[in-house]
Structure 1
Amino acid sequence: MTESFQLFQRAGSSKWWVRFSIKGQGQIRKSLDTTDQNEAHQRARKAFYEASYRAENGLTATVVKFATVAEEFIAKIEREVKRGERNVAQGQKAPATIRRYFVGYFGDRPVDGITDRDVSAYIEWRKDYWTTGPGKDIAFIPYMRAGRQIRRPVTKREVPSLSRQRNESVLLRQLLRFAAKQGYIKQAAMPEIEVTKAPDVPRPSFTANEFGKLTETSLARISETSNDRVRRDRAILHAYMMIAAFTGCRPTEMKGLNWGDVLGYRDGREKSFAERDIRIRVRGKGKFRTFIPLEAALPSFDLLWTFAKNALGREPIDSDPVFVTTQGKRLDSVKRSLSELLSACDLLTDHRGVRRTSYSFRHFYISQQLMAGVDVFILAQNTGTSSDMIHRFYADVRECPEFRARRGGLSIRRSSPLRTARRR
């Protein structure tokens, strides 16, 4: 009887190998790891029938290691980032998470051998990684920046937040689904991954009085210093706060904002603020939207135009960033200067002790628009979120006395920074 496989030995080796072909998957070669021909024959027959069974059931003929699949998935993520199908932040964070945690635990195990029990064990291992697990002895984390490998010290050794656990669970599930689509595991055999749901917590924002105190202190700090560089930095921070608070932009959207995204700005520079017809176009979370800012944000664009013109030595073009450094580079972050200002106002945390960030201005905008009676669906469209998210995270706004007072007929003057957007 003719076998469907062939035994052979490579030159210079006494160990036996097997080769055979699987329809649609080409020729497969595999070491049998034995020098005994009879043993090799038995192992070869087993390897052939296992490969045939896998192929008949829609899988790859050979078992693939988890680490191999992980690298293929990372390559897919990088291609999606280049095509603009994923945001750059995901392209930077996901590979590091996959290699450190997923591959660090599952390593060279067959990807189709991972069970529900294995995933549960991994989740516990991941929670303890930086406290009692492998990370407890790691002092620095290497990463790439501008083509160079640098490192940062490990400053936090704690259990990952619920939000991070959720994000990593979603990423692991995406990886295993990718493996199933590639034929490495059967869809029905995929382990179940429970995604931890973080409780809905009201965002740290500002009350109208707190925001008033913040802006007054900001302006005072600008005028009190004689250092030109410090005055410029504080003025840019003030402009950042005003635009964020009266547009509802996310920090990532602010960072990526170019002058070409401030639609109608050049045409209206000589007009009064009330006569300008300006719209903002932003990109974030893989989407883009265009909306009308509140009038209170407009003076800050004039200030930033002047700063950009001085830094660049010419009038800004559409591709130039709105927020620039003195060298004309895109401003990366206002985290440090904002923390200093919040500390100076005793507003670094809200009444619950939750630390405020640049995201708090977006929450201030949404809260104040709700209190001004703006329709939730219009507000959701304007801020690039869903009405469900607004209901979930801003339900407490509707319960406060200030909201009931506004809804009871308190008028909002056109010049008020809390008025609804024009032409909405």
Structure 2
Amino acid sequence: MTNKHTLFGGKLHLYKRENSKLWQCSAYLKGQNRRKSTGEESLSLAKEIAEDWYLGLRGRARDGLLKNEKSFKHAAEQFRREYLVITEGQRAETYVTGMMRKLDNYIIPYFGTRGLSEVTAGLIQEYRIHRQSFSVKRHNQKKEHSGKRPHHNTIHQEIVALRQVLKTAVRHGWLDRLPDLSQPYATNKKVTRRAWFAPDEYKRLYEATRRRIGAATRKNHRWSAEQLHDYVLLMANTGLRPDEIKRLEYRDVEIVEDQDTEEVILLISVRGKRGVGYCKSMPGAIRPFERLQKRNNGAPTELLFPKSHNELLNSILDEEDLKFDREGQRRTAYSLRHTYISMRLSEGADIYQVAKNCRTSVEMIEKYYAAHIANSINAAAVNVRKIKKTRSKEN
């Protein structure tokens, strides 16, 4: 049976999309091609729905009620123009670039030619299904369609970008309301502790990076080993994100005496995914920073770590059998940030102050580091018992 049919002398079309059992209908009226899903697998029922829809369109066109609808691509370009101007300086450049990449690679190619009213909850669900087997070729991929299922957080970020475009359409009056973008059949996701280094594992790591310095025979190899050793210590004593420490310049770091603890620490001006923030280090960050200054004779505008040391770090993690934690999660440079947060919580630090110093939210820490909050709970304040009064018996 053919997957294409015409009605009303070719003015109304019925067709099926690839990998879909439902019949779709389309008609060209008032200078615009209009589409609709019949929601039916049966051809006879689909014809009835399509005919009713087409006659309704003609009636609205005759009464002057049928207006040309903006396409999704038009709304996406308007969103792009607004977003790049309004968020300038408020969002990290990498975040904005990632948002635009999601639009160009996935969202506009799928929704672009459709009218805004066609972007329904059902079509959004079809997009989620479509993305399970589609990915855009990257520079290091040989095949355009890798078939790899994207992580649920990847799809979530794409739906965030889609929502922003639809909100733009609502603001401009091109769409009367947002469709339901929630994921059906969703269950609570398993919450796991993020990969970190327990105190004994962290000690093994920095001792291994120190040994690598002594084993280096060439000058450039020794420099890389020294840089990595100080990188590990700085990350674990500041809680910086890898992208934050990558941008760190010598002028962003100041050695100060903290008034509250009377300890010498680093006061760091951080530039990262959330713009500019501040971080107060642990005292253990002082010596690594001083070694960096002495080793590199860094000018104020030079980077602390001009080269990436991830390859050497991964090599040492493999040698020390530290690449994976007990849950099988892969450890990376980001795990040093998780180590900082976990250790602070384990030692009873205030969760709000930890969140503020790490430029994140209390909710994120409670979600991913809850296992370490046990030591910060005051049992005496929790285990309060009401004293029951006993009635004396009369003899």
Q: Distance in 2 between matches of 1:275 and 1:391?
A: 28
Could you tell me whether the CA contact under 8 Å between 1:66 and 1:109 is conserved in 2? Answer: yes
Q: Distance in 1 between matches of 2:314 and 2:265?
A: 34
2-structure distance, mates of 1:48, 1:284: 55
Q: Alignment partner of 1:202: what SS?
A: coil
Structure 2 residue aligned with 1:84: 89
1:185 aligns to what?
Answer: 175
Which residue is 2:347 aligned to? 372
Give the 3 Å change call, closer, same or farther, for CA 157–306 of structure 1 in structure 2: farther
Give the CA deviation at 1:307: 3.6
Offset, 1:198: 4.5
SS in 2 for 1:185: coil
The percentage of counterpart residues that share the same residue type is: 27
Distance (whole Å) between structure 2 residues aligned to residue 344 and residue 234 of structure 1: 15
Pairing 1:238–2:238 present: no
The 8 Å contact of residues 246 and 293 in structure 1, kept in 2 or not, is answered as yes
Q: How many angstroms does 1:398 deviate by?
A: 4.2
- Normalising by structure 2, we get a TM-score of 0.73
Report what 1:69 is aligned to: 75
Counterpart of 2:243 in structure 1: which amino acid? T
Q: TM-score, normalization: structure 1?
A: 0.68
2:279 and 2:69 map into 1 onto residues whose CA distance is: 52
Deviation at 1:289, TM superposition (A): 2.6
Counterparts in 2 of 1:234 and 1:250: CA distance versus 1, 3 Å: same
**Cα deviation code 1:298-349 (max 9, x no counterpart):** 111112213432xxxxx512x322222xxxxxx3x33222111111111011
The within-5 A match list for 1:25-424 is 46=61, 49-50=64-65, 62-80=68-86, 83-130=88-135, 140-141=137-138, 151-153=139-141, 157-187=147-177, 190-194=178-182, 198-264=189-255, 276=264, 278-309=266-297, 315-317=298-300, 319-324=301-306, 331=307, 333-398=308-373, 403=375
State the secondary structure of the residue aligned to 1:283. Answer: strand
Q: CA deviation at 1:391?
A: 1.9
- For 1:247, the aligned partner's letter is T
Distance 1:232 1:48, change over 3 A: farther
CA distance in 2, matches of 1:66, 1:253: 35
SS in 2 for 1:281: strand
Secondary structure (helix, strand or coil) at the match of 1:215 reads helix
Any gaps of 5 or more consecutive residues in structure 2? 1-29, 34-56, 381-395
SS in 2 for 1:152: coil
Q: CA deviation at 1:32?
A: 9.0
Q: Which amino acid in 2 is paired with 1:64?
A: K
Separation (CA, whole Å) in 1 of partners of 2:233 and 2:265: 18
Separation (CA, whole Å) in 2 of partners of 1:194 and 1:277: 46
Structure 2 CA distance for aligned equivalents of residues 108 and 379 of structure 1: 47
Tell me, yes or no, if the aligned pair for 1:262 and 1:279 is still in contact at 8 Å.
yes
The root-mean-square deviation of aligned C-alpha atoms, in Å, is 3.0
**Residues 346 and 373, structure 2, Cα contact 8 Å, conserved in 1:** yes
1:153 aligned counterpart, secondary structure: coil
Closer, same or farther in 2 for the Cα pair 1:308/1:183, shift >3 Å?
farther
DSSP 3-state at the match of 1:49: coil
Q: What's the secondary structure of 2:157's corresponding residue? A: helix
* Letter matched to residue 105 of structure 1: Y
Q: How far did 1:254 drift?
A: 0.8
Amino acid in structure 1 at the alignment position of 2:247: G
Q: What amino acid sits opposite 2:120 in the alignment?
A: T
TM-superposed deviation, 1:101? 1.4
Report the counterpart of residue 327 of structure 1 in structure 2: none
Q: Helix, strand or coil for the counterpart of 1:279?
A: strand
Contact 2:91–2:275 (8 Å) recurs in 1: no
In structure 1, the gaps of 5 or more residues are 1-29, 34-41, 55-61, 142-150, 269-273, 310-314, 325-330, 409-424
Does the 8 Å CA contact 1:163/1:198 hold for their aligned counterparts?
A: no
Contact 1:308 1:323 in 2 (8 A): no
